[in-house]
Amino acid sequence: MAITFGALQNEVLRRATMNQSGRTFTQAIQYAINFSLFRISRDAPWRSMRRKATFDTVSSYIKGSPCASITSGSNVITLPSANLINDGVIIGRKIKISQTSTYYYINQITSNTSLVADRTIYAASSTGGTYEILPQEEYVLPIQSSHRMFMWHEGFGYPFRMNYITDTDFYTHGVYLTIKYIPTHYRMWGEDMAYMQVRQPSVISVASSSPSDISIPITIFGTVSGYPDYEVINTNSTNGTTSASGSKVFSYVERVVKGLISVGRIYCTANDEQDTIAVLPVGDTTSGILYRKVQVYPLPNQVFPIHVQYYKDPYMLVNSGDVHELGEEFNEAIILLATAKVKGEANLAEADRFMIYFQDELKSLKRTNVDKFDWFPTLRRPRQMSSDALVAPNLLFRQAGANFGPASRL
């Protein structure tokens, strides 16, 4: 039988207040249990927190007759045959138009057929150019994915584990950001609570999946008129599923949080509800879903799935009936660590002893519950091998093509 959040609180209360004349620490115990849950989940790659997910790469976008119209001295590009919003084109992608050799970033998408580039276009005005929106570079990883993760694909015809590279190393190598091929590397930089950014500056709307979520305050943090700002938007006062909109126009959204527990999921949208900016989970009142972004290189030249194996950060326990995700074997460790925290914060006796108990329990858990990292056979890059050796059973470098194997084959 699963031990609920309420049962964990009762047990920590019993151990932490022993011989303390019945003093209670309800709020402190709730915090201690959640902090202990997060602390333990970060300590090792626990098997129970391992997850798998997949996302598809997005290749170049050219719709219908690839016609592009520009006006010299403007940064607006019109694509009469495109269907940008309905086809899910996002800001941040690059666009190449035939009227100039310059690549532009898409800063805004104002309609299905019009976008705003990041710079002024000084080429001659033209209505007969062609265009290509380059493949998508950035993707959203599964929610609550931790730093322990790796990605792989079968774009080369076999399992290929992608290589992680830091932004500093990436840009130090002087790479060309417009190269299209099968991605071999990925890089990550930060995370936020926005699933996607607004396609153009917009007010934010909120609505719940449950009609009973009335007058729940949702705080939006981001950029308004070029400055950091925030706005509190309350869900509809009579029916939570009815959309309610704010008044401030956000050009960037960084954080979205709830002020009260909700029965349903809270959806935050922009641009006339065409873009889903964030989704807040049921119950949670202090934190939202964190979305970590990943950039792949080179830009994908085709559509194929990229597999993600990762270790999930747990959700916070809120309601008495909530059950944590680590599993039954971790209950004692959570209780011991939470008890040590409560006793230590209140200057109570035996805090150090409970910490020793916790450390012993954690060692036992690591012997039986730590996962093993997978290994995928991958082709070595040029100059890594001096002969046409086997890279995997029945697979030679000369069978894999010119991009792999000894330098002498280049």
Q: Does 114 share its domain with 240?
A: no
In a domain, 197, yes or no: no
What's the rounded mean pLDDT across residues 368-396?
Answer: 55
pLDDT reading at 58 higher than 90: yes
In a domain, 387, yes or no: no
In a domain, 15, yes or no: yes
Note the pLDDT of residue 67: 87
Cα separations (Å) of 373 from 145, 188, 239, 308, 376? 16, 20, 48, 13, 10
Q: Give the burial string for 8-37 (b: 16+ CB within 10 Å, else e).
A: bbebbbebbbeeeeeeebeebbbbbbbebb
pLDDT band at 260 (very low <50, low <70, confident <90, very high): confident
In a domain, 382, yes or no: no
**How many domains, the chain?**
4
Burial class (CB in 10 A: 0-12, 13-18, 19+), 264: buried
What's the rounded mean pLDDT across residues 91-98?
Answer: 94
Note the pLDDT of residue 399: 57
In a domain, 27, yes or no: yes
In a domain, 409, yes or no: no
Minimum mean pLDDT range among 86-95, 276-285, 332-341: 276-285
Q: Does 209 share its domain with 285?
A: yes
Beta bridge partners, 294, equal: 139, 188
Note the pLDDT of residue 375: 43
Q: Does 258 share its domain with 109?
A: no
Q: What is the dihedral of CA 317, 318, 320, 321, to 10 degrees?
A: -60
Note the pLDDT of residue 410: 35
pLDDT reading at 376 higher than 70: no
Q: Under a CB-based contact definition with an 8 Å cutoff, are residues 240 and 214 in contact?
A: yes
In a domain, 9, yes or no: yes
Q: Does 118 share its domain with 95?
A: yes
pLDDT reading at 146 higher than 80: no
- In tens, the pLDDT along 169-211 reads 888 888 899 999 999 999 986 777 888 899 999 999 999 999 9
Note the pLDDT of residue 22: 47
In a domain, 406, yes or no: no
How far is it, in rounded angstroms, from Cα 164 to Cα 117? 30
Note the pLDDT of residue 385: 46
Note the pLDDT of residue 273: 84
Q: At which of 279, 312, 345 does a domain end?
A: 312
pLDDT reading at 225 higher than 90: yes
Minimum mean pLDDT range among 139-148, 354-363, 398-407: 398-407
Picking from 323, 410, 333, 409, the residue whose alpha carbon sits closest to that of residue 368 is 333
- In tens, the pLDDT along 36-53 reads 999 999 888 898 998 999
Note the pLDDT of residue 377: 46
Note the pLDDT of residue 24: 55
Pairing outcome for strands 163-164 and 185-192: parallel
Containing domain of residue 181, as a range? 52-57+139-189+297-312
Q: Under a CB-based contact definition with an 8 Å cutoff, are residues 198 and 253 in contact?
A: yes
What would the two tokens of residue 293 be? 């972004």
pLDDT reading at 408 higher than 50: no
pLDDT reading at 134 higher than 70: yes
How far is it, in rounded angstroms, from Cα 182 to Cα 135? 11
Q: Under a CB-based contact definition with an 8 Å cutoff, are residues 128 and 99 in contact?
A: no
pLDDT reading at 383 higher than 50: no
Q: Does 171 share its domain with 302?
A: yes
Cα separations (Å) of 35 from 314, 353, 406? 11, 19, 51
Note the pLDDT of residue 234: 96
How far is it, in rounded angstroms, from Cα 249 to Cα 271? 10
Q: Does 277 share its domain with 208?
A: yes
How far is it, in rounded angstroms, from Cα 244 to Cα 236? 6
Picking from 267, 276, 220, the residue whose alpha carbon sits closest to that of residue 248 is 220
Note the pLDDT of residue 1: 56
Picking from 92, 99, 95, 96, the residue whose alpha carbon sits closest to that of residue 72 is 99
Q: Does 180 share its domain with 215?
A: no
Q: Does 208 share its domain with 257?
A: yes
Contacts of residue 4, defined as CB under 8 A and 6 or more positions apart, other chains included, come to: 320, 321, 322, 323
Q: Does 270 share its domain with 227?
A: yes
Q: Under a CB-based contact definition with an 8 Å cutoff, are residues 354 and 336 in contact?
A: yes
Q: Does 230 share its domain with 271?
A: yes
Pairing outcome for strands 138-140 and 266-270: unpaired
Cα separations (Å) of 157 from 28, 163, 185, 322, 374? 54, 17, 17, 43, 19
Q: Percent of the chain scored above 70 by pLDDT?
A: 86
Q: Does 11 share its domain with 144?
A: no
How far is it, in rounded angstroms, from Cα 284 to Cα 196? 21
- In tens, the pLDDT along 71-86 reads 999 999 999 999 999 9
Q: Does 305 share its domain with 171?
A: yes
pLDDT band at 379 (very low <50, low <70, confident <90, very high): very low
Note the pLDDT of residue 132: 95
What's the rounded mean pLDDT across residues 215-240?
Answer: 95
Considering the chain, what is the average pLDDT of its residues? 85
What would the two tokens of residue 362 be? 């954690």
pLDDT reading at 407 higher than 60: no
